[in-house]
Amino acid sequence: MRKFTGKLNDSFEKTNKFFGVSIQRPNPSYNTVRIGSIIGTVLGMLILIISIIAGFKWSAIGGSLVAVSNLGNLLSKKKS
């Protein structure tokens, strides 16, 4: 991941120099990431419930993946 972010930072620096603008990577706080994960979990569960009621199989799978992904982020003990 560090290799990718290093390339991304280099790309931003080149863009800054070429266009004469300042583009910076976002650096969200821990609380911002947690709030986003909570919202993502709720939306994933909502998609899952609606798709089960409506009978949309692939939407149910997608909703469950969104919910599980955000829930895993919420349960993570790692502070970035």
46-61 pLDDT, tens per residue?
Answer: 999 999 999 888 999 9
Give the list of residues 6+ apart from residue 71 with CB closer than 8 angstroms, or none. Answer: 37, 41
Q: What is the pLDDT of residues 3-42, one digit of tens each?
A: 777 787 788 888 888 898 887 777 788 888 889 889 999 9
For tokens 């972010």, what's the residue?
Answer: 5
Ranges of each domain in the chain:
2-75
Contacts of 37 (CB under 8 A, 6+ apart): 70, 71, 73, 74
Answer whether 0.75 is exceeded by the pTM.
no
Q: What are phi and psi of 56, to 5 degrees?
A: -95, 105
